[in-house]
Amino acid sequence: MKASLLLALVCTAVLAAGARADVPREPEALVRKVQEYAQKATAMAKTTFSMVQESEVAQQARQWLSDNMDLAKQRLAWLKEQLVELWKRTPAA
């Protein structure tokens, strides 16, 4: 999860906890409410992230990246070979 999204969730939790605090002079109550909201937000984010990771689209994307990474490595190796040959043919100045 991006840090900016997590920060936004924490700020929202703080604002919501402040709005719902029964006695504004008790910081412990506010802290407890913020912790509860943060725990709920974290659990929701973990659940969502797990669902996205396990989705078929994510699995297909990982497979595509894996397949194309091998092709990219092959092309890079070929390019290196070509550059070595070119370097050997170039006369020294």
Distance CA 8, CA 90 (A): 58
Task: Give 55's pLDDT tier (boundaries 50, 70, 90).
Answer: confident
Question: Is residue 23 located within the same domain as residue 38?
Answer: yes
Question: Is residue 68 located within the same domain as residue 89?
Answer: yes
What domain count does the chain have?
2
Question: Is residue 14 located within the same domain as residue 27?
Answer: yes
The predicted pLDDT at position 77 comes to 95
Residue 43 is part of which domain span? 1-54
Residue 81, class by beta-carbon neighbours within 10 Å (0-12 exposed, 13-18 middle, 19+ buried)? exposed
What pLDDT digit, counting tens, does each position of 68-85 carry? 898 889 999 999 999 999
Question: Is residue 22 located within the same domain as residue 64?
Answer: no
Question: Is residue 6 located within the same domain as residue 50?
Answer: yes
Question: Is residue 73 located within the same domain as residue 49?
Answer: no
* Closest to 18 in 3D by CA, of 6, 30, 10: 30
- Of the two residues 52 and 80, the one the predictor is more confident about is 80
> Are the C-beta atoms of 58 and 19 separated by less than 8 Å?
no
Question: Is residue 65 located within the same domain as residue 88?
Answer: yes
Question: Is residue 4 located within the same domain as residue 19?
Answer: yes
CB atoms within 10 A of CB 32: 13
Tell me the mean pLDDT in the region 38-63: 87
Question: Is residue 26 located within the same domain as residue 40?
Answer: yes
This prediction has a pTM of 0.41
Question: Is residue 90 located within the same domain as residue 69?
Answer: yes
What pLDDT digit, counting tens, does each position of 6-49 carry? 777 777 777 776 666 555 567 788 888 889 988 998 999 888 88
